[in-house]
Structure 1
Amino acid sequence: MSSNKLDGRLLRTIAVVLLGGLLGILNSTMAAVATGTLATAFDTSLSTIGWASTGFLLAVTATIPFTTWAVDRYGGKRLWVAGLALFLVGSLAAGLAWDVGSLIAFRVVQGIGAGLLDPLVLILLARAAGPRRAGRVMGLMGVVLSLGPVLGPIVGGALLGALTWRAMFLFSVVVGVVALVLAVRVIPPDEPVPTGPSRLDVIGLALLGPGFATVVLALSQAAEQGAFVVWQVLLPLAAGAGLLIGYGLHARRPGPLIDLRLFRSRSFSASVTIMGLGGMGLYAGLFALPLYYQQAHGHGVLAAGLLMAPLGLGGAIAMPLAGRLSDRLGARGLAFGGAIVAVLSMLALTRAGRDTPEVWPALAALTFGLGSGCFSAPTMGSLYRTLPEPMVAQGSSVLYMLNQLGGALGVALVTLVVQTASADPIAGLRGVFWLSVVSNLVVLALIPLLPGRGRTPEPVAAHPG
């Protein structure tokens, strides 16, 4: 389609893909608020039940590189339907789990399904939209990224309050069935397009997926232990770093799973780094703000979740508008303005205390959502305008893995800062907001590397021969 407008068929495809993409985000954030309930139900410790969430996250991270190769071998629609089916099986089994071991195992199955779906959301949308409409379509994707983490705790808290923990997983089954039926009917069929190596880079897969997953495990352990310099963190961190260095050496050979020459493009490197830092800042805020409302104002989990709504609402408003404008104006100006607003919003939150009325942190969260949305959607759009068609799958995987890594780092830093300031938790939360200020200042410094208006984006490397 040559027009910049989104026709009805494309809009239906976008809506169905976004519904499936919402599943993994909702499920992971719903499970996060149920940790205490699940520990009681299975008569186990919080650290043990935490592996239900950690196992899900590790499975997602380890599966993403495989999706990079499989989407061109089997076609986007086939892989999407397979991912939804696997996620449904895992959700149903988790809802019927009989002990903590079975719950963790079934959450891993869910994570493998989500590891197929999550990068496919970006790949399918980028291919459907084309470079000229990348900004507006990535802006619509941003609605899911903004609202999903906020809706999850609200929906999870409501289900846990009205029903049982099993209803939380069975809710995912109901939504997943609808998403699967609509995907079969609406998403247009596509034939496999073997643009990359025909054989799976097994060595690369064995190095890259576990490497990223092990680094995420180290960050999760840092959050659990409340420290970085402990063996539970240092051991997986060293192992993950070793695996990733090994992949870097392996990727010099022809036909790697992900071609590291992608990073020779300054605009690509800046885009994925901005999204990684954006993930860190967003998840730091998502975890710190509810703690602030609970510690400073004595609210319960559900009330704190509802007070988080302005953050998601701000992103949901800004991302479609900023994405649409970036298709005409370029990414740099919009992203620069958004990062400025995000920095100022976090600076305002560093002043929040026990006597601060809830309306002021809520307004700061709203403007932070607006600001982060204004730099996230144009950044994603500019990334897909620099990627040639054969590299869309690889670029999407890099983007998603770094975003996941940034989110895990954000959660770990929140936990570490709050625990080290246990005598004054409000001071610790202010420290988290200062960390978010710093991460958004780094985003601000990277924005000049993005394509500006009327500038031809620096092309990334074509697929290796």
Structure 2
Amino acid sequence: MKVHTARPEQEERLDPALVRLGAVLVLAAVLAQLDATIVTVGIGSIADVFRATVTTVQWVSTGYLLTVAFTAPLSGWLLRRFGGKRVWLASVALFVLASALCGLAWSAESLIVFRLLQGVGGGLMQPVGQALAVRHAGPKRIGRLVGLITVPVSLAPILGPVVGGLLVGTVGWRWLFLVNVPLGVLALVLAARVVPADAAERDTKLRPDGLGLMLLPPGLVALVYGLAQVGQAGFDMTQAWLMIAGFVFLAGYVVHALRTERTPLLDVKLFAGKGFALAGINTFLLGAALYSSMLLLPLYFMQVRGLSPLAAGLMLAPQALGTALVAAPSGKLTDRHGPRAIVLAGILLTIAGTVPFVLSGVGDVVLIVALLVRGIGLGAIVPPNVAATYTSVDRSQAPAATSARTVLNRIGGSVGTAVLAVILQNALTGAESAQSAYSHTFWWVLAFSVLTLVPAALYPRKAP
């Protein structure tokens, strides 16, 4: 009798239940990413309505990012203690409630408070949802699943300014927040049916890491806030002391995490493994070199090309298109051939797509093609980098790995943004034109991007 054996690709295919799970979880991640950038175009309108200074209203964006940095390290411990589904549903519900309150805010101060509350939900939704997806996908399917869910998550921050401009210009700034309510409710209803229960995997005896809570979140907030202020107002002793305090708190946490007998908020012992250490270093560098440079692109089109905020956002559409086209196929290729070749190709394409921005006299058509190439590179980078993170740890370590990855990406993005902002500010002061200042800054972007090639070259050559 002839026996038919299934090929590995058939045995480890993305079944419909896993695809539905990923679709529901990614809906909340899209809301969190979109919310980080959609508000930027409404800062001026909010300041006018509440008769507040732009400096005060700026906390609507800064406060959200700081709260995300504070809560993200808690996601791994909360997931293990209370279960992934329960924590994810609670975080989405909190995000929806806070979004509604933001839309109903009566003053700048009330909006900032509600925005901080919204950041708590946003800081938990993405890492907890990602950990759930990894848990159910397994190591042989993680690349493909991440490739599928990367498309909308990568598009969200790019499309944020465009969507924000349309909402502010048509229905008003309050809908920058109210738009989250129906989408969040939909995610809650679908998740109640689609996300599997995980009560059996909860550790109800897990105690909180008290000293870790006093060291890690405050250290991250001090460091991220100090870097953000350097990027906005330049360097002074206040920023210096904030960053020093952040480093001291984080160093104290590392010592504590290596010695404590309790489950730490962030398991630094994961970095003892070569695979996770390489993925962590590259996550930090990619956040600093590639994603932070996205903030330069809208400014370039507005200050050098003279476009409106909405037109500048639309010019970034080719980058979003490139990411959408490549993310899913790169996930499949990662599962088959390993992460090294895919992520190296993605970084090289991103570098190639950045080169025209250091040149003067480049036409719009060339820049559009460059952004498409840059988007293709970004779409090729994310799935293998995420896959390399999770295939280097076992299943029980997925929540801790997610927390570590989120923190590294957030700090990397903050460092890169602050450094590029200072470089640009100094270049604009002494340059003959805005074009030459931005060319100088994009040269630094290229230099930072080249650094990411080093750890990527050490990634595994074959699939796990």
Task: Establish whether TM, by shorter chain, passes 0.5.
Answer: yes
Tell me by how many angstroms 1:284 deviates: 3.1
Kindly indicate whether residue 426 of structure 2 is the aligned counterpart of residue 420 of structure 1: yes
**Which residue identity lines up with residue 356 of structure 1 in the other structure?**
V
Kindly indicate whether residue 69 of structure 2 is the aligned counterpart of residue 58 of structure 1: no
Distance 1:196 1:253 in 2: 19
Kindly indicate whether residue 85 of structure 2 is the aligned counterpart of residue 85 of structure 1: no
Tell me by how many angstroms 1:22 deviates: 0.4
Distance 2:448 2:49 in 1: 39
**Which residue identity lines up with residue 20 of structure 1 in the other structure?**
A
Check conservation: 1:286, 1:308, Cα contact below 8 A.
no
Instruction: Quote the residue 1:431 is aligned against.
Output: 440
Distance 2:92 2:200 in 1: 19
Instruction: Quote the residue 2:458 is aligned against.
Output: 449
Query: 3-state SS of the aligned residue for 2:452?
Result: helix
Equivalent of 1:191, from 193, 199, 212?
Answer: 199
Check conservation: 1:195, 1:390, Cα contact below 8 A.
no
TM-score of the superposed pair, with normalisation by structure 1:
0.93
Tell me by how many angstroms 1:195 deviates: 6.2
Distance 2:267 2:19 in 1: 32
Query: 3-state SS of the aligned residue for 2:304?
Result: helix
Check conservation: 1:284, 1:413, Cα contact below 8 A.
no
Kindly indicate whether residue 291 of structure 2 is the aligned counterpart of residue 286 of structure 1: no
Q: Write out aligned runs for 1:153-302 (5 A).
A: 153-194=161-202, 198-225=206-233, 227-228=234-235, 230-251=236-257, 252-255=259-262, 256-302=264-310
Worse overlay, 441-450 or 239-248: 441-450
Distance 1:15 1:196 in 2: 29
Kindly indicate whether residue 333 of structure 2 is the aligned counterpart of residue 338 of structure 1: no
Distance 1:390 1:284 in 2: 31
Distance 1:388 1:298 in 2: 51
Instruction: Quote the residue 2:325 is aligned against.
Output: 317
Worse overlay, 277-286 or 90-99: 277-286
* Deviation per residue, 1:393-441 (Å, 9 max, x gap): 1111111111111222232233222221224322222233222212221
Kindly indicate whether residue 410 of structure 2 is the aligned counterpart of residue 377 of structure 1: no
Check conservation: 2:320, 2:375, Cα contact below 8 A.
yes
Check conservation: 1:138, 1:380, Cα contact below 8 A.
yes
User: Percent identity, aligned pairs only?
Assistant: 37
Instruction: Quote the residue 1:361 is aligned against.
Output: 367
Distance 2:34 2:60 in 1: 15
Check conservation: 1:72, 1:192, Cα contact below 8 A.
no
**Which residue identity lines up with residue 245 of structure 1 in the other structure?**
A
Distance 1:75 1:83 in 2: 12
Q: Write out aligned runs for 1:388-407 (5 A).
A: 388-407=394-413
Q: Write out aligned runs for 1:452-463 (5 A).
A: 452-453=461-462
Distance 1:103 1:43 in 2: 13
Q: Aligned residues, how many?
A: 451
**Which residue identity lines up with residue 107 of structure 1 in the other structure?**
R
Coordinate RMSD, CA, aligned: 1.8
Tell me by how many angstroms 1:194 deviates: 4.3
Kindly indicate whether residue 49 of structure 2 is the aligned counterpart of residue 41 of structure 1: yes
Structure 2 gap ranges (5+):
1-7
Kindly indicate whether residue 50 of structure 2 is the aligned counterpart of residue 22 of structure 1: no
Instruction: Quote the residue 1:440 is aligned against.
Output: 449
Instruction: Quote the residue 2:3 is aligned against.
Output: none
Distance 2:152 2:423 in 1: 29
Distance 1:194 1:173 in 2: 29
Distance 1:38 1:110 in 2: 17
Query: 3-state SS of the aligned residue for 1:34?
Result: helix
